[in-house]
Chain A
């Protein structure tokens, strides 16, 4: 059986199954890992480590991408 852990993603608490890597989680959400960047507990998670970093209970993730923007937009 798999356990459920709680993590914070972009400011919201999420309950996810234990043992997922960052790549598993992003793809599970429906995003293309090549188009996003991830910060885990205020440290950059390099794309090359998405497949090896396993999420732990209490992790805080920021998942970002590029949007249209100019000055202060």
Chain B
């Protein structure tokens, strides 16, 4: 059973699920909705794009995932400058009417690594403009601190390059960021399978964000459920506190009274 008292907060809202899922790369909106349902996510990331003027009757995401029931987190995926990201999120705020957003300014097509100079610049402008900014960032603790000091409401370092599915490659850096940060820390990008999500949560972060690990699984809906369980398991293990690692064996049965 899910521990209903173990919640976290971002913006003005409290959430029970520590898994945020992206809504891109699915076969169709039915599959997107089914995967989100199976993941138990209460927040989903969405992108802002031009409407197709020639085809107003195309299905819309809002018809499959109700923004009144699930928090839409507009992102700036695909933006490579602070200016583009700011413009995109201003439109997102107008489209949705909420100010909780995910800022992501990329620096390189091949690695999709965040451009931290542009990210800092955009974060400053957006925060002054009243946005609540959850920020995708590098795993550099100094940069993470700068973003927190600017007023970002969540720090979201990568665990491995976006879409790589390589798993958590940087537990040392992530742990430093988690230890020093007083707003929620979510590991954003890098998760490939359920054990990666558990490892991320065992580090003590507040949540994980993923898209490709679910949407590119052979059975996305089943993987969504696996990610839900793994996120919960990792969180529970973190709260329980793991046993210390030892160099040699340590018997589980008492040695006293052996025949």
Closest partner residue, chain A, to B215 (CB atom): A70
What count of chain B residues pass the 8 Å CB interface test?
46
Does B201 belong to the interface (CB within 8 Å)? Answer: no
Q: Does B233 contact A (CB under 8 A)?
A: no
Given contacts A39-B90, A67-B48, A70-B21, 16 further A-B contacts (CB under 8 A): A10-B51, A12-B53, A30-B57, A36-B51, A45-B94, A64-B48, A65-B49, A66-B47, A66-B74, A67-B47, A68-B26, A69-B45, A69-B47, A70-B45, A71-B209, A72-B106
A71: contacting residue among B29, B50, B74, B136, CB under 8 A: B136
Q: Point out residues on B near A: beta carbons under 8 Å.
A: 21-26, 29, 32, 45-51, 53, 56-57, 60-62, 72, 74-75, 77-78, 87, 90-92, 94-96, 104, 106, 112, 136, 162-163, 188-189, 209-212, 215
A69-B90 CB under 8 A given contacts A9-B53, A29-B53, A63-B53: no
Q: Are A71 and B72 in touch, CB under 8 angstroms?
A: no
The answer to whether A65 and B95 touch (CB under 8 A), given A70-B212, A71-B136, A72-B112, is yes
Q: Identify the closest chain B residue to A47 (Cβ).
A: B94
Which bracket fits the contact residues of A?
Answer: 20 to 34
The complex places the Cα of A9 from the Cα of B168 at a distance, in Å, of 43
A21 to B229, CA, bound (A): 50
Q: Offer 15 A-B interface pairs, CB within 8 angstroms, sorted by A.
A: A31-B51, A36-B95, A37-B91, A44-B94, A45-B94, A65-B48, A66-B72, A67-B49, A68-B24, A70-B77, A70-B215, A71-B104, A71-B136, A71-B162, A71-B212
